[in-house]
Amino acid sequence: MLAKTIKKNGKDWHDQLPYALWAYRTSEKITTGATPYSLMYGDEAIIPLEVEILSLRIALKHVIKESQQWEVRLCQLEELDERRINALEHLKTYQQRIKRAYGKKMVPKKFEFEDMVL
């Protein structure tokens, strides 16, 4: 599933859009410290190669019985809440860091009545 390059005329960009969206959704973001996919679904995305060549994660899903699957899913949902809380905390600290960096560069200016400003 390799993405092809966009032709020089740029008229086939819509064919490459799913690849770009997949890359965006499965890449960890600096602001949250997690991937958008994992925050939405509670687990990392399974790439097609993991299905063809069984990874440990896929193999374990086939071994687990149906009754255990419900318990595993409930645990995943609890972990999802924790991930979202962690992402929110990560986002807040990131915003504070950006605010401090911006505050260092900002020079306050005072204006008096009838000053000419552009």
Decide if 111 is inside a domain.
no
Decide if 30 is inside a domain.
yes
pLDDT of residue 88: 92
**Residue listed under structure tokens 């997949």:** 22
Decide if 57 is inside a domain.
yes
Q: What is the pLDDT of residues 61-109, one digit of tens each?
A: 667 777 777 787 788 888 888 889 999 999 999 999 999 998 888 888 8
The range of the structural domain enclosing residue 75 comes to 13-94
- List C-alpha distances in Å: 37 to 26, 33, 104: 6, 12, 35
Total domains in the fold of the chain = 1
Q: What is the mean pLDDT of the chain?
A: 82
pTM of the model: 0.53
8-13 mean pLDDT = 76
Burial class from Cβ neighbours inside 10 Å (0-12, 13-18, 19+) for residue 16 reads middle
- Percentage above 70 pLDDT, the chain: 84
pLDDT of residue 49: 72
